[in-house]
Amino acid sequence: MNNAGYGLFGAVEQIDADKARALFDTNVLGNLTVLRATLPALRASRGRIVQISSVNGRLAWASSGLYSASKAAVELAGEALAHELAPTGAKVTIVEPGLFATEFATSLDVVPPSDAYAPTVGQFLAHFSQLPASAFGNAESVADTIMAVTAMEEPPLRLGVGTDSVEGIRESLRSRAAELDLWASFSPEPADQPA
């Protein structure tokens, strides 16, 4: 299991370069460092790579822009890795948990929003801080899911874990498909090529 998770939340404009760099160093480059060190053995053993991402690797909300971008990088690197490893028999699964009761929420770096972002970032952060304990799933269920996936002969490439993750990803996909269809006419057909 490959997991690097540092939570940084705030308005994209207000997160300084040092904080953004630290986030990507941990969530993306830290993840790649572990992969590089373990891939020779995993290829040789036809092993399983379980990349821990987040529902935020598939969607973003006000305040999650840079965190979501870091997890999206993990998602796409993992997808490419799955294609690259296909002939070796090694398998990649990207796990996308939603909200679970872990220590992650207690160690977040939150950049308070300015007045310009109070209606969006501020409102989201206030709402999030008021979520009841029942909104957070049992973290042991994520571990159980990971164990089940690693035992599969043909595991999924991506796996949303938690109802909030599955529903959030599903709604994001619907919205993206509808937007793609709405604006498809802006993509001209390729010109006919001479014979």
Place of tokens 């599969």: 152
The yes-or-no answer on residue 134 being catalytic is no
- Looking at residue 106, its pLDDT comes to 73
- Give ∠ CA 99-101-104 in degrees, rounded to 5: 80
The answer to whether the predicted template modeling score (pTM) of the entire model surpasses 0.85 is: yes
The yes-or-no answer on residue 71 being catalytic is yes
Tens digits of residue pLDDT in 80-117? 999 999 999 999 999 999 988 887 777 789 999 999 99
Tens digits of residue pLDDT in 5-54? 789 999 999 999 999 999 999 999 999 999 999 999 999 999 999 999 99
Residues 36 and 32: their CA atoms lie apart, in Å, by 6
- Looking at residue 148, its pLDDT comes to 94
Percent of the chain scoring above 90 in pLDDT: 78
Mean pLDDT of the chain: 92
Q: Which of 67, 91, 117, 165 is catalytic?
A: 67
Tens digits of residue pLDDT in 130-170? 988 888 888 888 899 999 999 999 999 999 999 999 999 99
Determine contact, residues 160/98, Cβ cutoff 8 Å.
yes
Q: Which of 63, 71, 91, 117 is catalytic?
A: 71
Which domains are assigned to the chain?
Answer: 8-181 (3.40.50.720)
Residue 56 or residue 132, greater confidence: 56
- Give ∠ CA 142-146-149 in degrees, rounded to 5: 135
Residues 48 and 157: their CA atoms lie apart, in Å, by 11
The yes-or-no answer on residue 67 being catalytic is yes
